[in-house]
Amino acid sequence: MSELRELYQEMILDHGRHPRNFGVLPHANYHKEGFNPLCGDKISLYLCEKAGVVEDVGFDGCGCAISMASASLMTEAIKGKTTQEAARLFTDFHVLVTGLPVEDMTRLGKLVVFSGVAAYPVRVKCAILAWHVLQALLKNDAATVSTE
């Protein structure tokens, strides 16, 4: 188990240092910003949606390794998915990081690396920030997202 934990941390550190899909998407038809005042994490999410499918997604911003890694892994997880699948992943991820039993772990794929975050309530907000931004974006909520 400890080896697995180390592996999980390794993936979070890797994505934190070298976030995937990092940068502004000029052709995005959705853009949303979010802020986690507790830690100072800021994320701008760009999403290109066509016929209910996430065709492309990118983000930029700054923050701790957890927030950046979470946004990075989220973009990987939702690219090519339908917006409905993306919304369901938000629910699964929320359940995971709050430490509740997940109905179907296989749906989460690589995102299970964040299971350890549940033990650190302050870190949960870092991990969930990008997902809250995604959810607000999918719901077309005009307000800027804040975890507080």
- Residue 79 or 93 having the CB closest to Zn ion: 93
We find the least distance from the C-beta atom of residue 39 to Zn ion, in angstroms, to be 3
Name which of 73 and 126 has its Cβ closer to Zn ion: 126
**Total residue length of the chain:** 148
- Beta carbon nearer to Zn ion, 41 or 49: 41
CB of 123 to Zn ion, least distance (A): 7
Task: Please report, as ranges, the residues that interact with Zn ion according to CB under 5 A.
Answer: 39, 41, 64, 67, 126
Give the span between the Cα atoms of 67 and 114, in whole angstroms. Answer: 11
> Across the strands, what pairs with 83?
none
CA-atom Rg of the chain in angstroms: 14
* Beta carbon nearer to Zn ion, 21 or 70: 70
What is the number of other CB atoms lying within 10 angstroms of the CB of residue 12?
22
Minimum CB distance to Zn ion, residue 57 (Å): 20
d(CA 132, CA 134): 5
C-beta of residue 49 within 8 angstroms of C-beta of residue 83 = yes
In the chain, DSSP finds a helix count (H) and a strand count (E) of: 4, 4
CB of 68 to Zn ion, least distance (A): 8
